[in-house]
Amino acid sequence: MRILIIGGGGMVGQKLAHNLALSGTLGNRKIAELTLADAFAAQTLSSTANFPIKTVVADITNPVIAQSLITNKPDVIFHLAAVVSGEAEANFEKGYSVNVEGIKNILEAIRLTGNGYMPRLVFTSSVAVYGGPYPEIIHDDFHLQPRTSYGTQKAISELLVNDYSRRGFVDGVSLRLPTICVRPGKPNKAASGFFSNILREPLVGIEAILPASKSATNYFASPRSAVGFLVHAANLDTSVLGDNRAMMMPGVWGTVGDEIDALRRVAGDEIVALIKDEPDPVIEKMLSNWNFPDITSARARALGFKAENTLDEIIQVHIDDELDGKIPGRSK
């Protein structure tokens, strides 16, 4: 089978590619070719695969380029590419161009290929599609009322995936991802980035800025879980989904204070002391539009999607996967 990862140069795309390279299969099918497409050159995978891996620089806001990605008819397409939340809010036109026109161009390229071509498309949506006022718990049938441009763009994209799937052009699944935490590497432009920063930097002995209140809430899952969601979705029997191809992925609800408490339990007071409060009104305003309650994710859980159960587990996954099981920021 042929696999295309759009957004293959990003953190989740790279981790997914490594997973596929190591396994050599997706479900019970052998991988014949993997293509990583992104707006910039994706780094070469360090793991050895028994199939060719290609990297392509591609601007999916250009319909001709989007069509070129579908020329060899990939069997599975992971659409991970996006302008993240903070940047989508700051640059309105870019957010809609990439986050809405990009997925529409890919869907149109699939439709226009025709001749019975109907690949599995796994699209990464976001918890940001929700907006208040919230009930005590968000259930699967809770309405979408996003209060940011990013959330609106993701909600529009979900509807496109639903409609193209209903019409038989594509076999789509939209995964509403929790905030992925702890993100390795450097901070990005996501408004939610600090949820990772306040854990990642202290664990390696670097001060981290906390720009929001400790009462701010979010819904979390690790990068390892994110890859698991994507692989599971690629193998899912979509006939059980009906016309609604979108679902909220499992995760762990918590406040910033809960994150800090978990970090203290896992790594100690010395590490927690590296977190410095510096309120940022812009970040705090955006967070007030989220302020999520707990989310059941019952539909996804019933279909076999799995994530961590505690913030302590999420932090330990980061230590194991990114820090070789050690905490370098802690003095001997």
Structure tokens that stand for 328 in this block: 């370098």
The residue type at 218: N
pLDDT averaged per 10 residues, the chain (length 332): 97 96 95 96 76 95 98 98 91 97 98 96 96 90 93 98 98 97 83 90 95 92 98 97 97 96 98 95 78 91 98 98 93 70
Go through the domains of the chain in sequence order and give each one's CATH number.
2-177+223-248 (3.40.50.720)
Please give the backbone phi and psi of residue 125, each rounded to the nearest 5 degrees, phi first: -95, -155
Q: Which amino acid is at 309?
A: N
Q: What's the token pair of residue 126?
A: 């976001």
Whole-structure pTM value:
0.95
The HSE-up count of residue 296 (CA atoms within 13 Å, CB side) is: 11
Alpha-carbon Rg for the chain, nearest whole angstrom, is 19
| Cα separation values, 178 from 140, 166, 221, 260, Å | 14, 26, 6, 18
> What's residue 9's pLDDT?
94
- Cis amide prior to 281 (ω within 30 degrees): no
Is-contact 262 195, C-beta < 8 A? no
| pLDDT at res. 121 | 98
Residues in the chain: 332
My answer on whether omega of the bond before 252 falls inside 30° of 0, hence cis, is no
Q: Indicate the Cα dihedral angle 242, 240, 20, 163, nearest 10°.
A: 0
Q: Which of 96, 130, 150, 164 is catalytic?
A: 150
Whether residue 150 lies in the annotated active site: yes
Q: Which residues of 177-196 are buried (b: 16+ CB within 10 A; e: fewer)?
A: bbbbbbbeeeebebbbbbbb
CA gap 39, 187 in Å, rounded: 19
